[in-house]
């Protein structure tokens, strides 16, 4: 009888533990999405582009946790006017990813909006979408250039474009999307993936059941596979993993200054993208990027539109302190042949080869600007980079720089 009662007690404890974990997962998942995502139900599937924004007015949080307004037009882009309406202004069409879309600032603070305030003779049309790479920027341009008939097209190049140009899908926040891409011979590959929400935890029995079935079908019997799946989907597992890392960092790194440096370096991701080394993979990335940029150039030439590429490679260039930290992090993590100017040089080569106007980051001008305005171009504090996107100050700087280049081209 005593054994039976013990078994019952253990069973009750087991069920209570499972229930507590599920409740914690659901609560943490909702909290995590609320406070860590800059987007809330802002995406919808698009069979041609992969995804785009949902039409309407959205209130989200910026990186400093302030509420900002995001206005999405009926075409799924960030504009608050009819982008096809006739106007006597020179239209400037912006294509690119999250840097172009500017979801970290309110509608009127994006560089496409500020440009119009600086020069009322221009109309800025923002067709940037989070996660888009060069191939999707090209497809957006191909789809809308005839209807909009822009005087100038501005493509914002970012450091992950060469990498994403080789991918057929992209995981973004709690969603995974299929994305169009070009084959090596320039053929457009339109694999259609349905929108697949990947909850960050075991938020429902149905989702767990779905995984179990998939695991059986694919014979994912190893514990390592389950751990990987759990890490990808569970918010609780993510928090435990982060806590474990912090504890390891605390015990392994006794030197306070070194610990501080390692903590800072965690915000500097993908440092290998600035490593000057030859590999088949990296050559494929840049070769594909050049091919797509050439397609963009051909489209703009055909339409007699001016093309400008603004190079937003990385926040390394925004001030001396971040530059020094970036270089220090590369040494700490043993990144071979690290060079902050690597991507700047690569995109310059493409620009010269294709005769394209490139606006490169000018460290001297940027330093002068941030000292004069007492601001940072990205979201950073005391050397900690908590969001690499442009701040209000950054959007203002890009808008002022662009206006000068655009005026020289069309006036």
Report domain extents, the chain: 37-198+270-410
The pLDDT, as a whole number, for residue 201 is 33
User: Token pair 């490169």 is at which residue?
Assistant: 360
The pLDDT, as a whole number, for residue 226 is 59
In tens, the pLDDT along 249-270 reads: 444 444 555 555 555 565 555 6
Topology of the domain comprising 37-198+270-410 = Rossmann fold (3.40.50)
The pLDDT, as a whole number, for residue 202 is 32
Look at residues 132, 81, 123, 83 and name the one whose alpha carbon lies nearest to residue 103. 132
The pLDDT, as a whole number, for residue 365 is 87
Q: Record the tokens describing residue 94, joined without a space.
A: 């912006």
The pLDDT, as a whole number, for residue 85 is 94
The pLDDT, as a whole number, for residue 93 is 98
Q: Is 384 helix (H, G, I), strand (E, B) or coil?
A: strand
pTM of the model: 0.76
The pLDDT, as a whole number, for residue 105 is 96
According to DSSP, residue 375 is labeled -
The pLDDT, as a whole number, for residue 104 is 94
In tens, the pLDDT along 314-333 reads: 666 666 777 777 777 777 77
Taking 70 as the pLDDT cut, the residues of the chain under it are: 1-5, 25-40, 172-175, 191-270, 277-279, 314-319, 382-384
Alpha helices in 56-170 (DSSP H): 98-101, 111-118, 134-148, 161-164
Q: Is 383 helix (H, G, I), strand (E, B) or coil?
A: coil
N-to-C CA span, the chain: 94
The pLDDT, as a whole number, for residue 214 is 45
The pLDDT, as a whole number, for residue 172 is 60
């Amino acid at each position: 009888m005593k054994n039976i009662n013990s078994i019952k007690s253990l069973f009750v404890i087991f069920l209570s533990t499972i229930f507590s974990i599920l409740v914690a997962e659901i609560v943490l998942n909702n909290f995590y999405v609320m406070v860590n995502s800059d987007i809330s139900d802002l995406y919808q599937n698009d069979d041609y582009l992969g995804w785009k924004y949902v039409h309407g007015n959205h209130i989200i949080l910026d990186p400093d946790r302030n509420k900002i307004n995001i206005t999405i037009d009926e075409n799924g882009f960030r504009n608050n006017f009819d982008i096809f309406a006739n106007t006597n202004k020179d239209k400037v069409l912006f294509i690119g990813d999250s840097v172009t879309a500017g979801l970290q600032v309110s509608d009127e603070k994006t560089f496409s909006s500020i440009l119009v305030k600086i020069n009322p003779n221009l109309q800025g049309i923002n067709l940037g979408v989070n996660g888009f790479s060069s191939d999707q920027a090209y497809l957006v341009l191909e789809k809308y250039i005839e209807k909009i008939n822009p005087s100038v097209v501005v493509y914002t190049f970012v450091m992950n474009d060469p990498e994403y140009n080789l991918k057929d899908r992209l995981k973004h926040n709690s969603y995974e999307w299929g994305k169009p891409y070009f084959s090596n011979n320039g053929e457009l590959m339109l694999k259609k993936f349905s929108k697949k929400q990947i909850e960050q935890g075991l938020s429902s029995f149905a989702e767990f059941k779905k995984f179990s079935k998939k695991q059986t079908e694919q014979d994912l019997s190893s514990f390592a596979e389950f751990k990987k799946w759990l890490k990808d989907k569970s918010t609780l597992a993510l928090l435990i993993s982060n806590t474990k890392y912090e504890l390891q960092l605390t015990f392994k790194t006794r030197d306070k200054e070194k610990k501080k440096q390692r903590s800072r370096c965690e915000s500097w991701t993908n440092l290998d993208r600035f490593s000057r080394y030859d590999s088949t993979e990296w050559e494929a990335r840049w070769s594909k990027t050049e091919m797509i940029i050439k397609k963009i150039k051909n489209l703009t030439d055909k339409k007699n539109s001016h093309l400008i590429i603004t190079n937003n490679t990385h926040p390394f260039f925004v001030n001396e302190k971040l530059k020094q930290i970036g270089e220090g992090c590369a040494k700490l993590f043993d990144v071979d042949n690290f060079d902050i100017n690597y991507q700047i040089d690569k995109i310059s080569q493409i620009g010269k080869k294709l005769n394209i106007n490139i606006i490169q980051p000018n460290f001297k001008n940027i330093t002068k600007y941030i000292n004069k305005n007492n601001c940072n171009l990205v979201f950073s504090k005391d050397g900690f980079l908590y969001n690499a996107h442009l701040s209000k100050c950054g959007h203002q700087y890009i808008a002022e720089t662009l206006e000068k280049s655009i005026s020289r081209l069309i006036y």
